[in-house]
Amino acid sequence: MKDILLDKSYAELCALVAEAGEKPFRARQLSEGLLHGKKLSELPVSSALRARLAEQFEEEPVRIERVFTARDGTQKFLFALADGNLIEGVLMKYKYGNTQCVSTQVGCRMGCKFCASTLGGLVRNLTAGEILGQIVAVNRLAGGGLKEKRAVTNVVLMGSGEPFDNYENVVRFLRNVTDGEGFGMSARNISLSTCGLADKMRRFAEEGIPLNLTVSLHAVTDAERARTMPVANAFSIREILDACTLYFERTGRRYIFEYSLIAGENADMVHADALADLLRGRPCHVNLIRLNAVKERSLRAADERMAQAFLKRLLSRGISATLRRSMGSDIGGACGQLRASYLESKKSGEPKA
């Protein structure tokens, strides 16, 4: 596999253009062409520069393989990478704009029992350009431009993979996507979800990127958390909370906890009270999630009555909380479900529409 041009920052593109003996304005042409989702052969640069780039870089590192549209308008994408691997992403449409969920790895090694992404383990990390490539591909398909003309207005790193398990590439992506000379997205329009790698959370607090930090909690004790999240054997809830405190101190940004409501596991009033006690006084928000059933797992989602009762109890205890609206469930809403289904159907010779 060749290198990926979207990995490079604007400053690095300027250096590349200079090394090629081209005039400085070519760097702007190159950057804008890439961020509009153009292939190398479509870039509005000189033929000599285009030929030189083709020797070293992939023509199209991220390609939209298929698009699935849900009844509620949510779009889910299968992306093909240059090496043949597949990843997936989602575009969710809200009144305030369009939010794209992107993947950071092919597969995942975290082993969370409510997630389909981890079923096949980790295949490989994505580069910064492959993460950004998902956004520019969807933005182009939706007719978007750059900066205030983007069709993709918000990004969440909540697709396949654990972002902090691919730390260097993810941080490079974040710096590139927020670069005012590039895509120009505000860090406040970006959310990153981690399963709780506390050491990387502390490191990230020092990076100076004030995005919305989201932590998959899903339990109120370490023992309960370990039943569904193997990462709990490496980092305790206390270590995670301490890392969140550091993040708030460094950025001034409140943090968010995701809590999937699992019937018979963590969705009763005892757990609601325990969660309220755990988070009382913290500058945080709780995002309650209706569990997406994964056929390979035995976990069951809490019903609507239980979900609403859990939310009501948190609110009555002074905890900021919401119940996430379910979107795209009819096209495989959970992370990894669509990719797994598509790969399975391809084996049988009948790709699903």
- List 108, 112, 115, 335, catalytic entry: 335
With cut-offs at 50, 70 and 90, classify the pLDDT of residue 51: very high
Whole-number pLDDT of residue 115: 83
Q: Which residue has the higher pLDDT, 336 or 75?
A: 75
Q: What is the pTM of this model?
A: 0.93
Same topology between domain 1-59 and domain 61-347: no
Q: Are 261 and 220 in contact (CB under 8 A)?
A: no
Residue 330 pLDDT exceeds 90: no
CA separation for the pair 210, 206 (Å, rounded): 10
Question: pLDDT of 150-179, one tens digit each?
Answer: 999 999 999 999 999 999 999 999 999 999
Whole-number pLDDT of residue 353: 42
Question: pLDDT of 61-103, one tens digit each?
Answer: 999 999 999 888 899 999 999 999 999 999 999 888 999 999 9
Q: Between the CA of residue 61 and those of 2, 5, 7, what are the distances in Å? A: 9, 9, 10
Q: CATH topology for 1-59? A: DNA polymerase; domain 1 (1.10.150)
Q: Between the CA of residue 161 and those of 264, 313, 315, what are the distances in Å? A: 27, 32, 31
Q: Are 58 and 2 in contact (CB under 8 A)?
A: yes
Residue 162, token pair as written in the block: 């654990």
Beta-bridge partners for 79: 64, 87
Q: Are 126 and 104 in contact (CB under 8 A)?
A: yes
Averaged pLDDT, 3-30:
95
- List 14, 22, 58, 88, catalytic entry: 88
Residue 54 pLDDT exceeds 50: yes
Residue 334 pLDDT exceeds 80: no
CA-wise closest residue to 276 among 291, 257, 263: 257
Q: Which residue has the higher pLDDT, 329 or 195?
A: 195
Averaged pLDDT, 270-295:
91
Residue 337 pLDDT exceeds 70: no
Q: Which of 65-79, 100-114, 296-310 has the lowest mean pLDDT?
A: 296-310
Averaged pLDDT, 316-327:
90
Q: Is 108 an active-site residue?
A: no
Mean pLDDT of the chain: 92
Question: pLDDT of 234-263, one tens digit each?
Answer: 999 999 999 999 999 999 999 999 999 999
For the chain, the domains span 1-59, 61-347
Whole-number pLDDT of residue 328: 57
H or E element in which residue 76 lies:
strand 75-81
Averaged pLDDT, 26-53:
93
Whole-number pLDDT of residue 191: 98
Q: Is 58 an active-site residue?
A: no
Residue 134 pLDDT exceeds 70: yes
CA separation for the pair 81, 132 (Å, rounded): 12
Q: Does domain 61-347 have CATH number 3.20.20.70?
A: yes
Whole-number pLDDT of residue 281: 97
CA-wise closest residue to 335 among 101, 15, 20: 101
Averaged pLDDT, 303-311:
95
